[in-house]
A and B are shown apart, each in its own frame.
Chain A
Amino acid sequence: MEIVVCVRPVPEAETRLRVAPNGQTLDADGVKFVLAGYDESAVEQALLLKEAVAGSTVHVVACGPAPRTEEVLRASLALGCDRATWVEAPAEFAADSIRAAGAIAAVVRSPLPDLLLCGKQGGDDESGLFSGALGEHLGLPDLNYVTDLRWDAGTSRFRFQRATEAGAERWEAPAPLVVGLQQAWNDPRTAKLPNILKSRKATVAKVHADPSVPPGAGQPEKFELPAPRTGAKLIEYKTPEEAAQKLVRILREEAKVLP
């Protein structure tokens, strides 16, 4: 089975975010970028399928600028992906999920793999657009929020579930297919030290993103951090009755959430 897994670099969760002077993007200076959390699951799922289906290969692809994009590709190689392709593009290009999907689609279109996997959403803007956009660009069926993805060799179909608000849907679909993954069977594995060393020496194929891929319809106008939270209010009291009276008064007169 030929599997393509699409990943992207996102700021590490502990990063203190700053807005760039242009007010439209994140200030990347000094920010550490890592594999997005759901993409880690997608890589794990790709590797699990590779291990389950003999003769499979996993090709990891990412669109974005240096050095962060190359770094997450090497991290994916260290986890066990077989080869990597870096679709080089400026950060603004790659931040547009629909455009990035178009640029990646151009690279993986021929020959089409059996499965294209990505995380259900990024770890930064969480747009959740990528899998749908990739399916559209390639003219393939796409499904997001997928769990428990397996290959049934008997029927030559993928079997999986989709989490919905009402419960889990059970699906089956033939290859080729685009899947946005919610969760792999396992927690994502950790790369071993010798594989990290090997991944540093591995070849990462580099292509330039096709600039003629049109941007998505909507573009961010302004980027701002949430307002700092204001302090909690501590009610001082001697009896529970007094506490309740004070709380009701505050909710009614100050917060105005009670009539």
Chain B
Amino acid sequence: MPDFSLTPEQESLRDLARKFARTEMAPHAAECDRAARFPDEIYRKAYDLGLMNLNVPAEYGGSGLALFEQCLIVEELAYACGGMTTSVIANCLALEPIILGGSPEQKERFLKPFCAQYQFASFCLTEPSGGSDAGALRTLARREGDQYVLNGEKCFITNAPHASLYTVFATVDPSLRHRGITAFVVPRSTPGVTPGKDEEKMGHRASSTSTVRFEDVRVPVRDRLGADGEGFALAMRTLDQTRTPIGALATGIAQAALDHAAAYSLKRHSFGKPISEHQAIQIRLANMVQAVHAARLLTWHAAWAIDRGQRGTLESSIAKCFASDSALQVADEAIQTFGGYGYMKEYPVEKLLRDAKLTQIYEGANEIQRSVMARELLRAYA
């Protein structure tokens, strides 16, 4: 019998995240959004409480949580601020290739010192000329003796200006397409690594995003993850792990939008009664609660499947795609419920729409998620 109740441990973890989100993050969300401020002091507190390197095994200094527990935490954080959550969980994405593809020696050498102090890592896959078509990436890794020389540029890299470590995907031979892609761990201090200026973004403005340039960056062979040509599969396995928490992040934004809309509908009057008594508003709220509930359950199901050892590609794509589409829809409906006030920056719901939008784009655009779903689905009929 499937069980949808949380264990006391899961409740405690969710309560920790909820308390942190509502007392530390929420009071600063509007200000950080307005000023596009990267709230270092909040991220440091998140690190101190163990909310940052959630997926790193405890033996290497992380929190060692299964995906389901990660999702519980991410939803709570995103309820307070989607942008801050993106920055808090970006280490999970950046470190996952090391967790999945690193040798025990590499894990010891990279993960342990990294997790022992407050710092950021960035996942460097996307390039200016291609995001979804990762097989076409152009950053070149030329072998010279026991080193690789990296040249190229990555873009839309979360936390890049603040990161001390990058996991970088480059090709040893562009003509090999996917089969040439190779993964490396590159400390920021390596000569030739240059993060760009902070991008001005529509949402997630408490997070930081920039390009990273690699100019004749010398990387020793021992910092390569796996063998030449294994990078593409590693990137895909990484995204199979990290896609589901994006569903949770979107669910958190959607839940916040629903809560704002429902509370507002009870206190806003029109035609002599609270607007919650108008059927048009009731139907909207009913649609919103369906979307939020389904997004959460799909996310939980994907996390559950992956935690049971399944690859979960279909499930996680469904969860990420549905939850992010729902977040945009629910945030939009929250604004409509607020009417003119919803469009004003003084009210909290327009930010939710801007934050929700990114969840449809990053960590695999929803077009890609749908291709994945179709591929996985049709495989069963072929």
Which A residues lie at the B interface, using CB under 8 A? 67, 71, 74-75, 78, 190-194, 196-197, 199-200
Asked whether B374 is an interface residue with its Cβ less than 8 Å from the other chain, the reply is no
Residue of A nearest to B12 (CB): A196
Q: A190-B16, A190-B20, A200-B9 are in contact. List 7 more A-B contacts (CB 8 A).
A: A74-B12, A192-B48, A192-B49, A193-B16, A197-B9, A197-B63, A200-B12
Chain B contacts of A67 at CB under 8 A? 8
Asked if A193 and B13 sit within 8 Å, CB to CB, the answer is yes
Which B residues lie at the A interface, using CB under 8 A? 8-9, 12-13, 16, 19-20, 48-51, 58, 63-64
Taking the nearest CB of chain A, how far is it from the CB of B314, in angstroms? Answer: 30
Q: How many angstroms from the CA of A196 to the CA of B15 in the assembled complex?
A: 11
Asked if A192 and B8 sit within 8 Å, CB to CB, the answer is no
Asked if A196 and B16 sit within 8 Å, CB to CB, the answer is yes
Chain A contacts of B51 at CB under 8 A? 193
A194's partner among B8, B12, B20, B58 (CB-CB below 8 A) is B58
Task: Please list 26 pairs of residues, one from A and one from B, whose beta carbons are closer than 8 Å in the complex, sorted by A's number.
Answer: A67-B8, A74-B12, A75-B12, A78-B12, A190-B19, A190-B20, A190-B49, A192-B50, A193-B13, A193-B16, A193-B49, A193-B50, A193-B51, A193-B63, A194-B50, A194-B58, A194-B63, A196-B9, A196-B13, A196-B16, A197-B9, A197-B64, A199-B12, A200-B8, A200-B9, A200-B12
Chain A contacts of B16 at CB under 8 A? 190-191, 193, 196
Taking the nearest CB of chain A, how far is it from the CB of B49, in angstroms? Answer: 5
Taking the nearest CB of chain B, how far is it from the CB of A77, in angstroms? Answer: 11
Taking the nearest CB of chain B, how far is it from the CB of A22, in angstroms? Answer: 27
Taking the nearest CB of chain B, how far is it from the CB of A190, in angstroms? Answer: 6
Q: How many angstroms from the CA of A67 to the CA of B5 in the assembled complex?
A: 15
Q: How many angstroms from the CA of A75 to the CA of B48 in the assembled complex?
A: 18
A67, A71, A75, A190: most-surrounded residue (chain B CB, <10 A):
A190
Chain A contacts of B19 at CB under 8 A? 190
Taking the nearest CB of chain B, how far is it from the CB of A187, in angstroms? Answer: 10
Taking the nearest CB of chain B, how far is it from the CB of A60, in angstroms? Answer: 16
Given contacts A192-B50, A193-B49, contact A71 B8 (CB under 8 A): yes
Q: How many angstroms from the CA of A237 to the CA of B177 in the assembled complex?
A: 78
Taking the nearest CB of chain B, how far is it from the CB of A65, in angstroms? Answer: 15
Residue of B nearest to A194 (CB): B50
Taking the nearest CB of chain A, how far is it from the CB of B41, in angstroms? Answer: 15
Q: How many angstroms from the CA of A71 to the CA of B49 in the assembled complex?
A: 20
Taking the nearest CB of chain B, how far is it from the CB of A28, in angstroms? Answer: 16
Q: How many angstroms from the CA of A192 to the CA of B12 in the assembled complex?
A: 11
Asked if B8 and A74 sit within 8 Å, CB to CB, the answer is yes
A71, A75, A78, A193: most-surrounded residue (chain B CB, <10 A):
A193
Chain B contacts of A78 at CB under 8 A? 12
Q: How many angstroms from the CA of A78 to the CA of B12 in the assembled complex?
A: 10
Q: How many angstroms from the CA of A75 to the CA of B9 in the assembled complex?
A: 10
Chain B contacts of A192 at CB under 8 A? 48-50
List of 9 A-B pairs having minimum Cβ-Cβ separation, nearest first = A193-B50, A200-B9, A192-B50, A196-B12, A192-B49, A193-B63, A194-B50, A193-B49, A196-B16
Q: How many angstroms from the CA of A197 to the CA of B13 in the assembled complex?
A: 8
Q: How many angstroms from the CA of A199 to the CA of B11 in the assembled complex?
A: 13
Chain B contacts of A197 at CB under 8 A? 9, 58, 63-64
Residue of B nearest to A193 (CB): B50
Q: How many angstroms from the CA of A248 to the CA of B50 in the assembled complex?
A: 59
Taking the nearest CB of chain A, how far is it from the CB of B227, in angstroms? Answer: 34
Chain B contacts of A193 at CB under 8 A? 13, 16, 49-51, 63
Q: How many angstroms from the CA of A75 to the CA of B12 in the assembled complex?
A: 8
Q: How many angstroms from the CA of A6 to the CA of B49 in the assembled complex?
A: 25
